[in-house]
């Protein structure tokens, strides 16, 4: 299998098939460097010694967050969970004081960077969804919550996606397991409900949403 994203490509498969593909690329005059998978789309990929487990994280993105926001969050305490429990952010209503132009722009920057972290951090999904709800008119409380999530991400820079497949025996069928959940009337603003799910393929989290 060949995955291609603009100029970042990866090939997976058995040795003969990989050789064959590379030969084909050569014939078409394409140049490449061959190395094992350690970095893809600015995600770091590490395997254990016998390649039965892997870890995918985004140290680059955490570094960027730290560079951008460290001055603001360094005085905050160390949190154990990404979002304030049971807190629902609400959009600013008419007549209420929202954020000034500069903070609003910072809010958008912060939420935008956090959205990238979702690629390898399902645990942040709900906290970030809360933040994205009020990007157009955030309140000071929303700004504070964003800083909290950023602080949590910086403190847990070592967290990444767990890739630990249950079985890869030939001939055995792949097992899909879905967990679905909802929070009825979870949005404090309009009392819409919130849906969430996570799908495992052979014990590896593949898609999730909040």
Partner 1 sequence: MALSSAEAEYIAASEAVREVLFVVQMLEFMKVPVEMPVTVHVDNMGAIFMLENKSSNKRTRHVDVRYRFVTDWIEKKLIEVVFVRTKENISDGFTKNVNRETYQNHTPHYVQERSYLKDDNIAHERDLDDESENVQSYGGDEVD
Q: Rule CB under 8 A: is residue 76 a binding residue for partner 1? A: no
Q: How many CB atoms lie within 10 A of CB 156?
A: 17
Distance CA 2, CA 55 (A): 20
Distance CA 75, CA 95 (A): 31
Distances (CA, A) of 174 to 56, 147, 157, 183: 22, 40, 32, 30
In this chain, which of 109, 126, 135, 155 binds partner 1, going by CB under 8 A? Answer: 126
Q: To which residue do tokens 């849906």 refer?
A: 195
Q: Rule CB under 8 A: is residue 205 a binding residue for partner 1? A: yes
Interaction pattern, residues 20-59, with partner 1; x per rule: CB under 8 A: --------------------------xxx----xxx-x--
Smaller CB distance to partner 1: residue 104 or 163? 163
Token pair for residue 175?
A: 């097992």
Q: Which of residues 149-178 bind partner 1 (CB under 8 A)?
A: 158-162, 164, 166-167, 171-178
Q: To which residue do tokens 């996606």 refer?
A: 161
If we measure between CA atoms, which residue out of 1, 23, 24 comes closest to residue 12?
1
In this chain, which of 114, 117, 153, 210 binds partner 1, going by CB under 8 A? Answer: 210
Binding site for partner 1 (CB under 8 A): 1, 46-48, 53-55, 57, 80-87, 120-123, 125-127, 130, 158-162, 164, 166-167, 171-186, 191-210
């Amino acid at each position: 299998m060949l995955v291609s994203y603009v100029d970042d490509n990866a090939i997976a498969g058995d040795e003969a098939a990989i050789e064959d593909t590379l030969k084909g690329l050569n014939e078409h005059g394409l140049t490449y460097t061959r190395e094992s998978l350690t970095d893809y789309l600015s995600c770091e990929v590490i395997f254990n010694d016998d390649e039965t487990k892997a870890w995918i994280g985004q140290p680059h993105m955490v570094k960027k967050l730290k560079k951008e926001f460290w001055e603001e969050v360094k005085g905050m305490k160390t949190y154990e969970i990404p979002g304030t429990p049971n807190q629902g952010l609400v959009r600013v209503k008419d007549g209420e004081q929202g954020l000034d132009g500069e903070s609003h722009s910072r809010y958008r920057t912060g939420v935008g960077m956090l959205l990238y972290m979702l690629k390898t951090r399902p645990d942040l999904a709900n906290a970030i969804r809360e933040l994205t709800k009020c990007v157009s008119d955030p309140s000071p409380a929303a700004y504070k919550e964003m800083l909290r999530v950023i602080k949590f991400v910086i403190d847990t820079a070592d967290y990444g996606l767990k890739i630990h497949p249950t079985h890869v025996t030939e001939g055995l069928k792949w097992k899909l397991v879905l967990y679905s959940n909802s929070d009825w009337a979870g949005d404090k603003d309009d009392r819409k409900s919130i849906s969430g799910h996570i799908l495992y393929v052979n014990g590896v989290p593949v898609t999730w949403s909040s």
